[in-house]
């Protein structure tokens, strides 16, 4: 599932994306929909570590382009 999410995210020209992924009855995973992350729920993600990792990446990117 993670590989599918990474592949789908790589196809989108966005720095942050929300993906709805579902599992079919035969066990395969599919991307149902891509969306704006501001509308994504954090029910399965601890928000603290998410925001710290995002902030660290932004700082790293800023340093790389400075």
- The domain limits of the chain are 2-65
- pLDDT category at 47 given cuts 50, 70, 90 is confident
The 3-state secondary structure of the chain, one letter per residue? CHHHHHHHHHCCCCCCCEEEEEECCCCCEEEEEEECHHHCCCCCCCHHHHHHHHHHHHHHHHHHHC
Q: What is the pLDDT of residue 28?
A: 95
- Rounded distance, CA 26 to CA 10, Å? 25
**pLDDT reading at 8 higher than 90:** yes
pLDDT tens profile 10-45? 999 888 888 999 999 999 999 999 988 777 777 777
């Amino acid at each position: 599932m993670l590989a599918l999410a990474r592949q789908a995210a790589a196809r989108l020209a966005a720095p942050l994306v929300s993906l709805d992924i579902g599992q079919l009855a035969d066990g395969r995973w599919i991307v149902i929909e891509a969306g704006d992350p501001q509308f994504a729920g954090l029910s399965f993600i601890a928000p603290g570590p998410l925001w710290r990792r995002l902030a660290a990446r932004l700082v790293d990117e800023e340093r790389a382009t400075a």
